[in-house]
Structure 1
Amino acid sequence: MRYELVIFDNDGVLVDSEVLSNTLLAGYLTELGHPTTLEESIRDYMGAAMHRVHDLVFERSGQRLPEDFDEVFHARVFAAFERELQAVDGVVEVLEKLSADGVAYCVGSSGSHERIRVGHRKTGLDRWFGAGEGAGRVFSAQDVGRGKPAPDLFLYAAQRMGVAPERCVVVEDSPLGVRAARAAGMDVYGFTAMTPAERLEGADGLFSDMRELPVLLAEKS
């Protein structure tokens, strides 16, 4: 079997943003009276859309986050991205290999389109996912009714790219993303550079160096 579409999660898979953004999220929630550590933020919110933050805080505290929570948080994240964000080591080589082999690829991210664009512009990945041949390859939880772990985002990406779900493979680093890929009927490989392997239970394969991914994909060709 040859995969016809590789769907990449964005944060932690394409851009090295998870520690950066979760540090800011934990700090902001703590400021607002909802004490949260970095480890708790990663455990509870990594790979999730922003509505999960609102839902879990309300479920646990009975309090709503401020109406401008998303706006303030994203402003802090974007400022940090401009200062510090880098592409995941080895991901450019993977994209070059996929392009050379004629395998389609896209992004399926819980992040907003603006967050994805800012990160890609800062890291140079907009070359692969921005204008020209890269246009139309970015899909966000904003595009669908339900974010991960629902399968909607990955199914939407596959439909827009014109590939059947069973011909797709997802690259994820979060438990929610693995569950979403499984629910979509897609194979999924778990990236363990930051996430403990045991948290990605259900993945078809695990790898810790992005340069290992083409080998895993070739094994299914």
Structure 2
Amino acid sequence: MRYDLVIFDNDGVLVDSEPISNRLLAAYLTELGHPTSYEESIRDYMGSAMHRVHELVLERTGEPLPGDFDDVFHRRVFAAFERELEPVDGVVAVLEKLVADRVPYCVASSGSHERIRVGHRKTGLDRWFGDGLVFSAQDVGRGKPAPDLFLYAAERMGAAPDRCAVVEDSPLGVLAAQAAGMDVYGFTGMTPAERLPGARGYFSDMGELVGLLS
């Protein structure tokens, strides 16, 4: 393995949550008078922290979202997770390989700690991501595309940025990893490679990832 640390994005990389959360986000924004399609939600918000939703809506409409927007949205998402959420196909085999090879790994997500934990409990990934292996945009001042979250995760894990590999599926995440000076590998399960420019490699099946990292 050529890296000292592998940093996984969460939504869309570890758990198959992007279709669920973007469907609900588009519906909720539309309900509030900000018509948004599923495709537009994917384009504008996939991989970002919640503050970006507030900022873009305010910028575009001049109207702030309701004060309870995040709470209502997360309640809807968590309820849907309990019904629908699954791990991304093949990701458990990747984690097994990293453990067998004694390669450190962690998750660094734009989502809240609660959202990460809810998703991991539902999918069984909590056994792979114990204390000290979960980092959220809540832990830093700025979310992706700023590099802060990835740099924070690397520091906490004791790895130099140029010895880290990031696994991402969103344009904002790829930009954040590049800004952090880390190699990034683009998962094209939902996002075409052309929307993830500058990645060191691309893969559409988790079975391909270990080979890329090696």
TM tier relative to shorter chain: over 0.9
Which position in structure 2 is the counterpart of 1:14?
14
Instruction: State the AA in 1 paired with 2:188.
Output: T
Q: Paired residue for 1:176, among 172, 175, 180?
A: 172
* Secondary structure, counterpart of 2:207 in structure 1: helix
Calculate percent identity across the aligned residue pairs: 82
Which position in structure 2 is the counterpart of 1:135?
131
Structure 1 unaligned blocks of 5 or more: none
**Given the alignment of the two structures, is residue 196 of structure 1 paired with residue 209 of structure 2, yes or no?**
no
Following TM superposition, by how much is the alpha carbon of 1:211 offset from its aligned partner in structure 2, in angstroms?
1.0
Q: Partners of 2:82 and 2:68 in 1: how far apart?
A: 21
Which position in structure 1 is the counterpart of 2:62?
62
Show the 5 A alignment for 1:122-161.
Answer: 122-129=122-129, 134-161=130-157
Following TM superposition, by how much is the alpha carbon of 1:110 offset from its aligned partner in structure 2, in angstroms?
0.1
**Given the alignment of the two structures, is residue 5 of structure 1 paired with residue 1 of structure 2, yes or no?**
no
Instruction: State the AA in 2 paired with 1:171.
Output: V
Q: TM-score, normalised to structure 2's length?
A: 0.99
Aligned length, in residue pairs = 214
Which position in structure 2 is the counterpart of 1:87?
87
Report the aligned-residue RMSD.
0.6
* Secondary structure, counterpart of 1:47 in structure 2: coil
Q: Partners of 1:210 and 1:144 in 2: how far apart?
A: 29
Q: Partners of 1:135 and 1:210 in 2: how far apart?
A: 24
Cα deviations across residues 84-110 of structure 1 (Å, max 9, x unaligned)? Answer: 000000000000000000000000100
Q: TM-score, normalised to structure 1's length?
A: 0.96
Structure 2 unaligned blocks of 5 or more: none
Which position in structure 2 is the counterpart of 1:212?
208
* Secondary structure, counterpart of 2:175 in structure 1: helix
Instruction: State the AA in 1 paired with 2:45.
Output: Y
* Secondary structure, counterpart of 1:95 in structure 2: helix
Cα deviations across residues 30-60 of structure 1 (Å, max 9, x unaligned)? Answer: 0000000000000000000000000000000
* Secondary structure, counterpart of 1:176 in structure 2: helix
